[in-house]
Each structure stands twice: as C-alpha cells, then as structure tokens.
Amino acid sequence: MTILFLFAALFALMFIGVPIAVSLGLAGSLTIMFFSQDSVRSLAIKLFETSEHYTLLAIPFFLLAGAFMTTGGVARRLIDFANACVGHIRGGLAIGAVLACMLFAALSGSSPATVAAVGSIAIAGMVRSGYPQAFGAGIVCNAGTLGILIPPSVVMVVYAAATETSVGKLFMAGVVPGILLGVALMVAIYIIAVKKNLPALPRASFREWLSAARKAVWGLLLMVVILGGIYSGMFTPTEAAAVAAVYSAFVAIFVYKDLKLSECPKVLLESGKLSIMLMFIIANAMLFAHVLTTEQIPQAITAWVIEAGLQPWMFLLVVNIVLLVAGAFMEPSAIILILAPILFPIAIQLGIDPIHLGIIMVVNMEIGLITPPVGLNLFVASAVTGMPVTQVIRAVLPWLALMLSFLVIITYVPSISLALPNMLGM
C-alpha cells in the first residue's frame, strides 16, 4: 500500500503539471505523514543533511567551471584544434564537432553545456561549409551527451552520492565507453559523408596544427588538472571541482582574456541559478529516496526479484527499459536518485558490479537527453540553431539506433567499463 501510494502520488502530481522537484518532495512528505511511523521533523532533517553532502558539493563547482569555459571562448579553440586534427577527412567538420564535444565533455561535466558551447559555433561552421543544418544539429545533439559519460560528470557524482560508491572509480569507468561512443559516431559520420559526398577542409599544415594546439592547450590542461589531481591523490573529486572552477576563471580572464572582470558577476549568477535548480531537485529526490529506504521498499523489491528467479541479463534488460522510459520524461539526476537506491541492492544480490550499473544508468540518461518529449539537449540545440524542436527531434532520431546499439554493448560487456579501473587497481 505504501509503495502504491508513494508512486501514485508522484505520477499524479507530475501529470497535473507540478514541477518534478516539488512532486518528489510532496510525494515523499505525504507518504511519511499518512503511512510512516517517522516524525514529520525527519523531513527537515533529511533536507538539511542533503545540503551538507560533501560529494554533492562537486556539482556547483563543475557547473561553474563549465560556465567559465563556455563564456571564455575555450570551446572555440577546442573546435579549431579538432578541425586541425580531422578536418581534412571527408565529413571532417562534423567529425571535428564530435571530437570537440569529447574534449569539452572532459572539462564541463554537463551535457547541455557541451551542446550549447560546441553547437553554437560548430553547427554554424558546418552550415557555412555546405552541410545541412539538420545534419549538424543531430550530430552535436548526440555527441553532446558525452558530457555526462566522459569524466568529470555531474550525473556520476549524483550516482556516487546515492549509492556511496567511489566517484574516482566511476570517472575512470566512463573513459573507455566515452571514447568508444565518440569513435562510433565519427565512423558513422564518415560513412554518411562518403555516401553523400559531404565537403572536407584542406589539410592543416603542421604549423597550423601546432598553432591550434598551442591556443587550445590551456583548455586541454584542465583535463590533466582534474583527472591527474584525483588519481595522483593530490585532491578528492570535490576538491578537483573547486580547483577546476578557479582554473577556468583564471584562464578565461587572464590567459585568453575573453572575459572581463566586470562580466564575472553575470557568469556567477547564471551558474548559481543552474546550481540552485539542480540542487533543489537533488534535495527533494534525496527526500524521496529517504522514504524508500525507511519503508524498506528496495529490500522488498529485491526479495521479490530474487524469488521470481530473474537472471542478471533479464534484470539488466528490465533496468534499461525502465530507465529509457523514465529518461524521456524526467531530469537525469532525479531519475538516478529515485531508482539507484532501488536497483543498487538488487544488482549486488545478482552479482552485478555497482560501477558497471552506474555506467549503464549514465548511458541510459544520455539517451534520455535526446528523447522527446523533455530531452534537454533537444531544447538546447533548438535554442542554439533557431530550428523548431520538432525539426531537431527529426534530426536526432536517425542517430538513436547507434545510441541504443551502444547501450546494449555497454550493458552486456561489462569489461568495457571495468577494464580501466581494474587495470589501475581501483
């Protein structure tokens, strides 16, 4: 009865148009008031504890670093560097856009930020060179999802907080799948470009390549600062996020000088708004997860799954279907915080590695970001290009088959995600 009321209340509130964060908080609060022995005061305590969660502190810092990188022209230099590397290949501008998304993903931790930063420059460049605008929008929309798979990743931080797994290990587990998806997109683009005879840039000379690399090096160094600092033990992922924010501000203001000191308050304000919105969703989702835990709902579902005799591959298939449906309607962080406490104990009982489960959830969230009706990347790409959302959806749909094939491979070949962490002895 408690489970039925909790989820019925959540979906009823969402159906009548109540924002997701408020729906999560209200559903959890009403369940505690009507069905739980817990005091209502526990709600306030849980919300306060959420705001104190040390791991989650990384999120506003990564968002701030991404804001400085986006505003400070780092994306433009990364695109120039990517084009110098692969622009001469048939379809090279599109392949360069994917490479730029991979590089920017390693800086920002956010998928919408990657689409906004790279898309605003790369799509216009592709259109000027003779590419169809829809083709460019579809590519950047899909490649932008790498923002939450290639470390650092805000969604991985949320999963780590929800399941108390290692953020560093999750970051490492995302490297190989992120590179694999990026390469798969590039290969698909090349095949299409050859068939459609899409244009290629003149091959960059070594001097031009060196010049582009020199201009992009300060942005590229941020990857070394974040990942090198974490895995050398110099600082924790949360401290790495803070260092990244300071480094990004320094590069944007004093090195590239694309950002004036007078413009910093605006960047801080926009980043703060995004952080507050995300943290409010997370706080309410944590409250919802608290109700799940106190009412022992995950344990009940785990017992039912074990009694039903579900095999690991069957369980993972169900997980993917549930996450794909949820991803089409909800924000990734909220989905992770609602479903991870339920799926995590079942996965442990079935012998599924929790890090592998985390990567599967992140890849599902990637697909959710480009799935209508509420895929966030679709709306960002629409704002960047001026195309109607319906046209962006049509541009993205042909690439969904590749994304779904990639999801199947990641789900049933765990070594892709676990090889690098295991190799490093994590």
Which of 94-108, 123-137, 177-191, 277-291 shows the lowest mean pLDDT across its residues? 277-291
Structural domain total, the chain: 1
What is the predicted pLDDT for the residue at 361?
A: 95
Tell me the pLDDT band of 417, cut-offs 50, 70 and 90: very high
State which amino acid sits at residue 143: A
Predicted confidence (pLDDT) per residue in 72-128, tens digit: 678 888 888 998 998 888 888 899 999 999 988 888 778 888 888 888 888 888 888
Q: Which domain holds residue 39?
A: 2-423
> Does pTM surpass 0.95?
no
Which residues fall within 8 angstroms of residue 201, CB to CB, at 6 or more apart? Answer: 83, 87, 88, 92, 93, 129
Give the integer Cα–Cα distance in Å for 100 and 87: 11
Give the integer Cα–Cα distance in Å for 23 and 176: 36
On average, the pLDDT of the chain sits at 86
Predicted confidence (pLDDT) per residue in 39-55, tens digit: 777 777 777 776 677 77
Most confident of 271-275, 292-296, 366-370: 366-370
More confident residue, 199 or 345: 345
| C-alpha closest to that of 366 among 374, 357, 375, 358 | 375
Average pLDDT score over residue span 296-300? 74
More confident residue, 230 or 52: 230
Alpha-carbon Rg for the chain in angstroms: 22
Torsion-angle region of 375 (φ positive above 0: left; ψ -120 to 50: alpha; else: beta):
beta
What is the predicted pLDDT for the residue at 25?
A: 84
Average pLDDT score over residue span 272-283? 83
Tell me the pLDDT band of 328, cut-offs 50, 70 and 90: confident
Class of residue 342 by CB neighbours under 10 A (exposed 0-12, middle 13-18, buried 19+): buried
**Pure H helices in 251-388:** 264-294, 297-308, 312-327, 332-349, 354-368, 376-385
What is the predicted pLDDT for the residue at 410?
A: 96
Residue 331 CB: number of other CB atoms within 10 A? 23
